[in-house]
Amino acid sequence: MLLWDGRPARPKRAGFPAQPLLPTFKSVSYLILIPKLPDETITSALNLQRRLLEGIDAAKAAESAIFEQSGETDATATVLDQLQNSAERLREPYSRLYTLLLRIAEAQPASSAMLDLLYRSIEQGQAALDASAASVQEAKRDWNIL
């Protein structure tokens, strides 16, 4: 015996109606499908990742230049710590963006909570990048690093 969709049914057992071998869904209207992540969002996140990486590089380069120029003294200890902290603050949003983009790509369809987290992570990453860039520029200016 075949079911309405043409799949074979399990044979009837005493007192039980024929049942499909696999569950059937006549309607999937209860599912909320999230559309594909917009290309501009992907581009924005990937560009931000690149800028975060550049920010980490700039902070570490400034730290290295100040250390080579003046060594580790009481005068440089604070600025070296600030530059190291700047690089650390950029590492977190970089890793978060990487992880979220990968999870969104693997989760089909992506949940709206994941997408909201991605958008918030982009905003927070941009804010961290702006703050770090200001700290690096200040350190370079204070220690005459060009």
> Where does 9-111 have alpha helices with state H?
39-70, 74-106
Output the six-digit token pair for 14: 């005493």
CATH code, 39-142: 1.20.1270
Question: What pLDDT does residue 88 have?
Answer: 96
For residue 87, what are the contacts with CB-CB under 8 A and spacing of at least 6? Answer: 55, 56, 59, 60, 63, 132
CATH 1.20.1270 intervals, the chain:
39-142
* Nearest-angstrom CA–CA distance, 61 and 59: 5
Tens digits of residue pLDDT in 62-121: 999 999 999 888 889 999 999 999 999 999 999 999 999 999 988 877 788 898 999 999
For residue 32, what are the contacts with CB-CB under 8 A and spacing of at least 6? Answer: 112
Packing angle of the helix pair 112-142, 74-106 (nearest 10 deg):
160
